[in-house]
Chains A and B, each alone.
Chain A
Amino acid sequence: EVVMTQSPATLSVSPGERAALSCRASQSIISNLAWYQQKPGQAPSLLIYGASTRATGIPARFSGTKSGTEFTLTISSLQSEDFAVYFCQQYNNWPLTFGGGTKVEI
């Protein structure tokens, strides 16, 4: 099973600041990685797939990059609505696996 490790568990930032969230895969997953955002009491929603392709309607301040087995979600200038929990997910191998999440808080 591919283990996905997200760091940090919690990221404290201020509105307008840049946030970088990390997700590391235990083995190569090529670019088969997605990022999701989940706000309290809501279902997750897709942000990015293919490591760097924004889903429909996702603002350009969200970007995804890949370096080997390390993936980064960057939010260039945090807005109030971006404070949430972010999960990564690999879909290169069965079983599909998620990271433990990063909570972005003020």
Chain B
Amino acid sequence: DTGVSQDPRHKITKRGQNVTFRCDPISEHNRLYWYRQTLGQGPEFLTYFQNEAQLEKSRLLSDRFSAERPKGSFSTLEIQHTEQGDSAMYLCASSLSLAGVQETQYFGPGTRLLVL
């Protein structure tokens, strides 16, 4: 088990372009989370999946953002028509949710996005 991986690690794009990030969770984990972290702040929750179902979305997740987890394994986060305010670190985390047991989230290294 190599932990949570994210790709790419860094992305520079021009305003208005679309970008897509990928997250590969720990293999047996059924929950997958996306967070955004801006400089000097803690991570802010964006959305999470249980298997392939997207169960919760933050108000931070505008219509330009979409996340998928088509087969309940890896996930993608797409940002359309990027804006400079989208510049941030995008973190993915996964966890194993068992009934009655509080889970621990394991974080990936993040994708740092810079929108010029």
Say whether A and B bind each other.
no
List the interface of chain B (C-beta within 8 A of A): none
